[in-house]
Structure formats: structure tokens, C-alpha cells
């Protein structure tokens, strides 16, 4: 398998952490892809022109990150990252959706920051930061129940918070969210998180 990859994408990081945690990373070749470069051929693998996209050995491809994570989870015999049924399944998937929403807002906000002067919308950026803060507040309320577990929801949350550190350090998401900060401190020590940290800026 080949993974269309960018070292700064939080969605790619989620896929990589899932792959490492399930021992599948050795079967995945990383293909560094610039989404801004039409010559990369990305749209042939994902018409939306986004990473991650997973190229399967039969020539087909999968996207987006929740679909890729579910596919990877079907390939191994160990403990599943996506519980098969029951409340645990819906909690894990809801948490993944919330964390992916933090990534969505963060990536949209980042796009706004990079716009040329005169085209920036401070109100749009403020709205995205507000969404990130509201989602982090919701996570703080349930962080005490995260424990030392591992599932797709917790992986996604850690990657979203890692992205907040990477691109929105000035927002200091830990302030006023001690339970979330404590949980993240432990989770971020996992080798899979350490190996996939975004590059220093």
C-alpha cells in the first residue's frame, strides 16, 4: 500500500498513528505529496485533491482519513481501534468526528492566515478558532474518562491537539483545560505519536 502523505497534515498523522499502533506501518510506503502541485497526480487517487489517500495494491484508492482508518483496522487481528458495536463504538466514532472537526477548523483557519493581505477575513479566522475552542471545551468535560485506552477517537483527539500546538500555539489550548492537558501529556508520549510529530517550524 502507498499513502499520499504530508508531514504537517493532522489527518495524515491520524492514519499513521493508527497504522503504527496496529503494526501495519511496515506495509505502507509513504509518498510525499504537495496538494498544491497539479503534477503530483493526487487527483487521480483522490478527486478532491486532498491527503491522506491510500493506494491499494489492486490500483484502487481510499479516502478520506476515517475510511482509511477503518480499512486499516480491518487488516489486523489485534485489538480493534474501532469497536465493533455497542456504546464504545459510538463514543469512539463521535470523538473522532469532534477531533476531525477541530482539524477542519484549524486547517481552514490556517488557509485564511496564508491568504494575501486584502483577501483575509479576520471574522472567518475568529470563527474557526471559536469552533476549535468550543470543541476543546467539550473534550475537557469528558477527558477524565479517557484513561489509558486506545481507540480511533482518542488517536484523533491527540492528533487534533497536536495540530493546535503546531499551528495555534498562541491559543494555549491547555489553559483552563487541566484534565485534557493531563491526558494529552501521557498520550503524546506513545512512540506512534512521537514518530509522527510535525516538523519543527
Ligand X SMILES: N[C@@H](CCC(=O)N[C@@H](CS)C(=O)NCC(=O)O)C(=O)O
| Chain residues that interact with ligand X, rule: CB under 6 A | 6, 9, 11, 35, 49-52, 64-65, 100, 107
The least CB distance from residue 176 to ligand X, in Å, is 27
The least CB distance from residue 8 to ligand X, in Å, is 7
Which residue minimizes CB distance to ligand X? 64
Q: Determine phi and psi for 118, rounding to 5 degrees.
A: 95, -20
User: Toward ligand X, which CB reaches closer, 51 or 136?
Assistant: 51
Q: Give the bridge partners for 16, in sequence order.
A: none
The least CB distance from residue 186 to ligand X, in Å, is 25
The least CB distance from residue 68 to ligand X, in Å, is 7
User: Toward ligand X, which CB reaches closer, 83 or 198?
Assistant: 198
User: Toward ligand X, which CB reaches closer, 167 or 177?
Assistant: 167
For residue 79, the tally of other CB atoms under 10 A from its CB is 11
Task: For 137-167, give one letter per residue: b (16+ CB within 10 A) or e.
Answer: eebbebbeebeeebbbbbbbbbbbbbbbbbb
* CA pair distance 163, 106, nearest whole angstrom: 8
Amino acid at each position: 500500500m502507498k499513502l499520499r502523505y504530508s508531514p504537517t497534515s493532522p489527518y495524515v498523522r491520524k492514519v499513521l498513528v493508527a497504522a503504527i499502533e496496529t503494526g501495519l506501518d511496515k506495509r505502507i510506503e509513504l509518498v510525499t505529496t504537495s496538494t498544491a502541485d497539479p503534477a503530483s497526480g493526487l487527483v487521480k487517487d483522490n478527486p478532491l485533491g486532498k491527503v491522506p489517500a491510500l493506494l491499494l495494491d489492486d490500483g484502487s484508492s481510499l479516502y478520506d482519513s476515517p475510511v482509511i482508518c477503518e480499512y486499516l483496522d480491518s487488516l489486523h487481528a489485534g485489538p480493534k481501534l474501532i469497536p465493533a458495536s455497542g456504546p464504545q463504538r459510538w463514543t469512539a466514532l463521535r470523538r473522532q468526528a469532534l477531533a476531525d472537526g477541530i482539524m477542519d477548523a484549524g486547517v481552514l483557519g490556517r488557509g485564511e492566515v496564508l491568504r494575501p493581505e486584502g483577501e483575509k477575513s479576520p471574522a472567518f479566522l475568529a470563527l474557526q478558532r471559536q469552533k476549535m475552542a468550543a470543541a476543546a471545551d467539550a473534550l475537557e468535560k469528558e477527558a477524565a474518562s479517557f484513561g489509558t485506552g486506545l481507540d480511533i477517537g482518542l488517536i484523533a483527539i491527540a492528533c487534533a491537539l497536536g495540530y493546535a500546538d503546531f499551528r495555534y500555539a498562541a491559543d494555549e489550548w491547555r489553559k483552563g483545560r487541566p484534565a485534557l492537558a493531563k491526558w494529552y501529556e501521557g498520550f503524546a508520549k506513545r512512540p506512534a505519536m512521537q514518530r509522527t510529530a510535525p516538523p519543527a517550524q
